[in-house]
Amino acid sequence: MKTTQTLHASKAFAVTAMLAVCATLFSSSANASILNAPAGGTFTMHLDRNALAPYFGYFLSTFWDGAASDISNPANTGSYLAGNIAATEISAVNRVFGLTPVGSDPINQPGQRFVKATSAGFGIDSDTLAGVVGTRIGMIGVQGFYAPSWPPSGGGVLNGDFSVAYDANRQSGGQTGWYLANNIYFTMAVYDFSNVSLAFTDADNWRLSGDLLMSPENGGMLQGASLNDVGDFCLGTGSYAGCGQVSAVPLPAAVWLFGSGLAGFTAVAGRKQSGQQISNRENS
């Protein structure tokens, strides 16, 4: 009788343990979320001036935020902005870009401008950090860079009308599949996202952050190395909007002033980051 009771007790324990494991797996799966396309938010970029220097002395010299680069103003063409790239360095820290609404791309944009709308089908898997191929988050704002050593006497580079997208084929050398694409004049990946991490409270309030790598496309255009770490970013939606902003770092005392010739070459590129990190869920 004791032996029979022992066997029954062992079977009951095994069944209970199995149910506990199944419950744990179900709970873990239930905690996974598909994060939605943002209804609003910000993309904050910090570029490392020293990491950019090997690319013909490349530095940020001009920044047009959403208001200054407004596509409702027909004068804000790509050629107008390219012709107004300064030759004096400005801080590349805390450059904030607004996100575009979900919907269709704006129509009747100024020449060479291609601001993209955010895709309704955009999403991020909170477990794998994979995105939905063929969708994007649009951004407003334009950057002007000056490369004083660009042959023969320096030149300006225009990046802007950015979009954040995911491509599963961009996953080598530190790339994660996520990248930032330039769309002004033409579409090209400029930075790849690396060391990506995710935090969220629910599907509409999340942030994606990590490092910025010089994309192979951008590195090739600038005749320099690809996938070098040149900065970091924070994409924040909902309650995470404004994430990643830091105290501004002053430029050195030296005045960065180079001749007046802006032998304008207008370029854009996108790149991705490496080594995804685990997703962290934050409770509100």
For 31-85, the pLDDT digits (tens) are 568 999 999 999 999 999 999 999 999 999 999 999 999 999 999 999 999 999 9
Instruction: Give the model's pLDDT for residue 229.
Output: 98
Q: What's the CA gap between 284 and 270, in Å, rounded?
A: 34
Q: Phi/psi at 68 (nearest 5 deg)?
A: -70, -25
- Are the CB atoms for 111 and 158 separated by under 8 Å? no
Number of structural domains, the chain?
2
Do 25 and 63 sit in the same domain of this protein? no
Do 10 and 78 sit in the same domain of this protein? no
Do 10 and 129 sit in the same domain of this protein? no
> 13 lies in which domain range?
1-31
Sign for the CA dihedral angle at 132, 134, 139, 143 comes to: positive
Do 198 and 67 sit in the same domain of this protein? yes
Q: What's the CA gap between 98 and 59, in Å, rounded?
A: 22
Q: What is the pLDDT confidence band of residue 246, given thresholds at 50, 70 and 90? A: confident
What are 212-241's pLDDT values in tens digits? Answer: 999 999 999 999 999 999 999 999 999 999
Sign for the CA dihedral angle at 111, 165, 168, 58 comes to: positive
Between 205 and 269, the higher pLDDT residue: 205
pTM of the model: 0.79
Q: What's the CA gap between 71 and 214, in Å, rounded?
A: 27
Do 10 and 71 sit in the same domain of this protein? no
